[in-house]
Amino acid sequence: MAIWQREATLEQLNQRSADCMVGHLGIRFIALNDDSLEAVMPVDQRTTQPFGLLHGGAPAVLAETLGSMAGYLCTCGEQQVVGLEINANHLRSAREGEVRGVCRALHLGRSHQVWQIEIFDRQQRLCCISRLTTSVIMAKPEQR
């Protein structure tokens, strides 16, 4: 049974994310499963540090993007999701290709959510594991 409360297509998720940091970094949603959301991010000049490795902040952006969008999809009506805390453990570096993030819920409560995001390199090796805590809030009238 799917955890999502809102209906959305991958095309809609990608279109909504095109004109912000998500689009600037080339992050693309690639799978919306019953209990997980997946996206890829290129390892290129936008996401690497000066020594050619994937910048440590880039997987955090990918994780925050996945967890926030998944969190939003688990709300309804005028509810919105904002990030409260994120951590990321970098386990392996990536130098080329793209990385793939897989986001799954650890806790879906009325007022907060906890998401686990695993990020893999192109050889499907775990590069980073992240946890994002979000708060579910009501949208202010000017945000609707």
Task: Say what the pLDDT of residue 16 is.
Answer: 95
64 noted as active-site residue: yes
Do 42 and 55 touch, CB atoms closer than 8 A? Answer: no
Tens place of pLDDT per residue across the chain (144 aa): 799 999 999 999 999 999 999 999 999 999 999 999 999 999 999 999 999 999 999 999 999 999 999 999 999 999 999 999 999 999 999 999 999 999 999 999 999 999 999 999 999 999 999 999 999 999 877 665
pLDDT tens-place string over residues 74-92: 999 999 999 999 999 999 9
The catalytic position among 38, 64, 98, 118 is: 64
User: Residue 18 is which amino acid?
Assistant: A
Specify the long-range contacts of residues 5-8, CB closer than 8 Å, at least 24 apart.
5/73, 5/74, 5/75, 5/76, 6/72, 6/73, 6/74, 6/75, 6/76, 8/32, 8/73
